[in-house]
A and B are shown apart, each in its own frame.
Chain A
Amino acid sequence: MNAMLLVAIREFRQICATRSFWITLFLLPVAIVLSQASARLLQPPPGVAVVIVDDSGRYAPILQSRIALDRDRQVLSELGAYAQKWKITPTGAGAVWGRGPRLFSPPEIAAFEAAGGLAAAQAEIARLKPAAASDFHPPGPFFIPIAPPPGVVADRGPEAFGASLAPAMKKDVATPSGPRQLALGVYIPANFGAPGVAARLWSNGRPNGPLVELVRQELSGALRLQALRASGVDMAAMARIQAINAPVSLSATPAGSGRERMMLRSALPLALAYLLLLSLMMSGSWMLQGLIEERSNKLLESVLACITPDELLYGKLAGVVAVGLVMITAWIGFAVIAAFSVQGVVADFLRPALASIASPWIVVALAYYFLAGYLAISMMFLAVGAVSDSLRDAQAYLTPMILVLTIPFVAIATSVLQNPDGPLPRIMSWIPIYAPFAMMARLGSGVAAYEVIGSGLGLAAFIALEFVLLSRIFRSSLLRAGQTLGLKTLFRRAAA
C-alpha cells in the first residue's frame, strides 16, 4: 500500500473518530426532521369556527349555504388534484372531479352533491385507485359554522352577545372537525335591512378577511335582492340574472411542468451543490484542524522523514474527499429513506426531480463538478493549514475565505431558481471556485455543451495550478513555525 493511501486512511479514520463528525452527520437529517415535525405540530389546524345568530331567521341559511358551497368547491378541487396525480378517471354520475383541478362552477358542484358528494367519490376512488396510491383524505373546511358555544348569550341582543363572545374567543371551541379557534361572531338583528340597522361582527384579533368578505357579500346580495323585489323587478328574470357567472376557465399546469417543473428539475442538483458546500466547510475545517495539530504537535518532521510533502498533501486530500463522500452518501441515504417513508413525496417531488439527472452525461458532469469542487476548495483549506501555526492564525484566513465562498453561493442558488440561464449563474460558471456550485445547480435545467466543457476545463486547469502552488507552499511552510506570514512571503513561497 503506498504512502499516500496510508495517509488518506489515517486522515479518514482520524476525522471519523471525532465527535463533531458524527454530530454533523446526524445533525442535518435530525434538524430537517425536527423542523418539519415542529412545523406540523406548531401549525394550527386548518379552519376556523364562526357563530351566526340571526334574529330575523332569513340570513343565516344564506350564509351557511355559501359556506357549504365553498366547502364543496374546496373538496372537488382536491379530488381533482388527487385524480390527476393517481391518474384516476371516474365514470359515475357527478364525477366532475375526474378532469383535474379547476374552478368548479355551481352546477358542477350541484351535480357532485346530487351524485352523493364526498361519500360517492370515496367509493369511486376505492374502486379505481392503483395499489400504490394513498387514500384520499378530504381537506379540513376553511369555515365551520357552529351553534353558540356554552356561555355565549344569543337571545339578549347584540351587546350581550358580543360581551359573551370574548371569553369563548380566548380558547378553542368544539366543532364537528375538532377544537378550532372561534374567528368570527355574526349577529343579524331581526330588522336587518331597515335603514340604519347593521349586522354586527366580532372578530378574534385581526379579522379573517375571506370570512368577513363572505359574510359581507352574502348579506349585501340578500339586501339587493330584497330591494329589487320591492321595486317590482320580475323575480324570475332576477333569479336568472343572479345565476349568471362569468365564464372563467382556470387551468393549472400539472406537477412537474412549467415553472414548477423548472424548480423541481433544479432542486436536486441545487441540493447537491448545497451538500457539497456544507460538507466542504465541515471536512475542510477538520482537515485544517488535523494539519494544525500535526504542526503544533511537532510530528510533521517524523512524517516527512518517511514520505514526501506531496504524498502527505495528496493523502490528506484523498482522506478528506473520502470523508466528504461518506457524508454526502449518508445524507442522500437519509433523504431517500425519508422520501420513501412519506407517501406521495416520491410521486410529487422525487420522480420529477430525478428526471433532471436521468441523462448519463448529466450524471457524469455532476460527479465531475462535485469531485473537482471538493478538490479545488479542500486545497484552499489545506493551504491555510500549511501556513497557520494555530487555529487562531487560521481564522485570519478562514473567515474571509468562507465569506468569499458562501455569499456568492446564496446568490447563485437564488438566481438559479429564478432563471438557471440568467447572467449571474452563467458568469459564476466560468469562475473556477464557483463553477462547481453554479454548474451543479444549473445542470438539471439544461446547460449548453460548450459551457459544460469550457467551464470544466477551466476548473481542471485551476486545480492543476492549485496543485503546483500548494505543493510549493506545503513544502516550504510545513516545518516553518512561528513566522508571521504576509502575502508577499506567501507568493514568494508559491513561486519558489
Chain B
Amino acid sequence: MSVLALDGVTKRFDGFTAVDNLSFEVPEGGIFGFLGANGAGKTTTLRMVLDILRPTSGTLEVLGRTPGRRGGGEIGFLPEERGLYRQMTVIETVIYFGRLKGMEPAAARAAAQSLIERFGLAPFSGRKVEQLSKGMAQKVQLASALVTAPRLLILDEPFAGLDPVNQSVLEEVILDLEKTGSTVIFSTHVMQHAERLCDRLLLIARGRKVFQGSQEEARAQLPARLSLTARADPSRLPGVERAESGVAAGDGWTDWAITLTPGASPGSVLEACTSTGFALRRFETHRASLHEVFLHLAGGEGPGEGEARP
C-alpha cells in the first residue's frame, strides 16, 4: 500500500510552472528521500500533499484520501522555514499543535511531556520560546510535528540550520520513527543525509521527475569507475570504456583510472582479468556518490542552483 500517490500533478503560479506533471508513489514504511536543487519544486509538492496549496491539475492521494485536514493527526510536518510563537512556552507550543490536529487536551499534554523529555527539553518546559537557543527551538518544532505520533512524517529540509550534534539527533529520531512503522518523507538538497537515511529516492529538477528508485539503482545511472595497478594496458578488457594511465609505479607497473561502459560491473572486469591472466597488483572500485548521480541526472543543475521560488 502506498501512503502517498501523485498522478500527473502540475502547479503553476502566475505563469511559472513550479511542478510539472509529477507522478510517483511512496510505499508505506521506510524513509523516502525527496531530492532536488533549491527551487526544483520540492516544497511546492509537499505543500500540495498537505493541502496548503491546491494543484493546478492532476490528483494526489495521501494515506488513501485526497489531501485535507481530516485525520490531520496522522500526518506530521516540519516545514523548511521554521518558526514558533515566541511568547508561548515550550509545553504550550507542543500541546497547541497537538490540539490543532484534533488531540484531546490530556492526550496532547501527555504526548508533549513525553517528547519534551525525549528531546532533553524538560528543564525548559515552562520557558518561553523566545528564551530558547535556535537548536532547542528546532527541537520544539520537531516535537510539535511528532506530537500526534503520525503515520506519515513529512520533513522539508529538516537538517537546514542544524549543527552537527542536532543533525545526528534528528537522524536518530528519523530512524526511530522508521522502526515504529512510520513512513518518513524528507526533502533535501544535501545528498549526504539522503545517502545515510533513505531507502528510496525521488529526484526532481525544474519541477519534473528525473529519477525514482533505490540508492543502488541511482548509482547504476552512472558508469562505474576502477583504479588498477597493472603491467599491461587494460583498455582492451571487456566492459572498459576508457582507461587513463597515471604515474608509473615502478618495476613496470602502472596506475590506471578506468571508466566502465554503462551496465558493466566491476566484478565482470575482475573475472575477465583472472581468466585471461591479466596481471594486477591493485584493484579498487569507486561507487558513484549520490551527489555525482544528482549532478548527472539534474543535467548540471547542482544542488542549491535551482530556479527562483515563486
Q: Which residues of A line the B interface, CB within 8 A? A: 1, 3, 6-7, 10, 14, 17, 293-294, 296-308, 479-480
The secondary-structure label for the interface of chain B is loop
A306 touches B101 (CB 8 A): yes
- A473, chain B: closest CB distance, angstroms: 15
CA distance A313 to B96 in the complex (A): 17
CA distance A296 to B85 in the complex (A): 11
Q: Which residues of B contact A294 (CB under 8 A)?
A: 83, 85
- B32, chain A: closest CB distance, angstroms: 18
Give the residues from 71 to 95 in chain B that come closer than 8 angstroms, CB to CB, to chain A: 72, 75, 77, 79, 81-88
- A220, chain B: closest CB distance, angstroms: 77
CA distance A2 to B72 in the complex (A): 13
B79 touches A298 (CB 8 A): yes
**Beta-carbon nearest neighbor of B52 in chain A:** A304
**Interface mask (B142-167 → A, CB under 8 Å = 1, otherwise 0):** 00110000000000000000000000
A297-B86, A302-B141, A304-B52 known; A6 vs B81 contact (CB < 8 Å): no
Q: Which residues of B contact A7 (CB under 8 A)?
A: 100
**Interface mask (B48-65 → A, CB under 8 Å = 1, otherwise 0):** 001111000000000000
CA distance A14 to B130 in the complex (A): 14
Q: Which residues of A contact B145 (CB under 8 A)?
A: 302
Contacts A14-B87, A293-B86, A308-B51 supplied; 20 other A-B pairs, CB < 8 Å = A6-B100, A7-B100, A10-B85, A294-B85, A297-B83, A298-B82, A298-B83, A301-B47, A301-B81, A302-B77, A302-B79, A302-B84, A302-B97, A305-B52, A305-B72, A305-B75, A306-B69, A306-B72, A479-B52, A480-B310
Q: Which residues of B contact A293 (CB under 8 A)?
A: 86
Q: Is B291 an interface residue (CB 8 A)?
A: no
- A59, chain B: closest CB distance, angstroms: 78
Partner of B85, one of A299, A304, A305, A307: A299
Q: Which residues of B contact A17 (CB under 8 A)?
A: 87
B47 touches A479 (CB 8 A): yes
- A353, chain B: closest CB distance, angstroms: 40
A298 touches B81 (CB 8 A): yes
A3 touches B100 (CB 8 A): yes
CA distance A8 to B101 in the complex (A): 15
- B208, chain A: closest CB distance, angstroms: 23
**Beta-carbon nearest neighbor of B97 in chain A:** A306
Q: Is B99 an interface residue (CB 8 A)?
A: yes
CA distance A302 to B97 in the complex (A): 9
Q: Which of A10, A296, A305 has the most CB of B within 10 A?
A: A305
User: Ordered nearest first, which 5 A-B pairs have the shortest CB separation?
Assistant: A297-B83, A299-B83, A298-B81, A298-B83, A306-B100
- A84, chain B: closest CB distance, angstroms: 57
**Beta-carbon nearest neighbor of A299 in chain B:** B83
- A494, chain B: closest CB distance, angstroms: 15
Q: Which residues of A contact B99 (CB under 8 A)?
A: 1, 6
A307 touches B83 (CB 8 A): no
Q: Which residues of B contact A305 (CB under 8 A)?
A: 50, 52, 72, 75, 77, 79
Q: Which residues of A contact B85 (CB under 8 A)?
A: 10, 14, 294, 297, 299
Q: Which residues of B contact A299 (CB under 8 A)?
A: 82-85
CA distance A10 to B86 in the complex (A): 12
**Beta-carbon nearest neighbor of B78 in chain A:** A302
Q: Which residues of B contact A14 (CB under 8 A)?
A: 85, 87
- B102, chain A: closest CB distance, angstroms: 8
**Beta-carbon nearest neighbor of B102 in chain A:** A3
A302-B141, A304-B52, A305-B77 known; A10 vs B84 contact (CB < 8 Å): no
26 A-B pairs, CB-CB below 8 angstroms? A3-B100, A6-B100, A10-B96, A294-B85, A296-B83, A297-B85, A297-B86, A298-B82, A299-B82, A299-B84, A299-B85, A300-B83, A301-B47, A301-B81, A302-B77, A302-B79, A302-B83, A302-B141, A303-B100, A304-B50, A304-B52, A305-B50, A305-B72, A305-B77, A306-B97, A306-B100
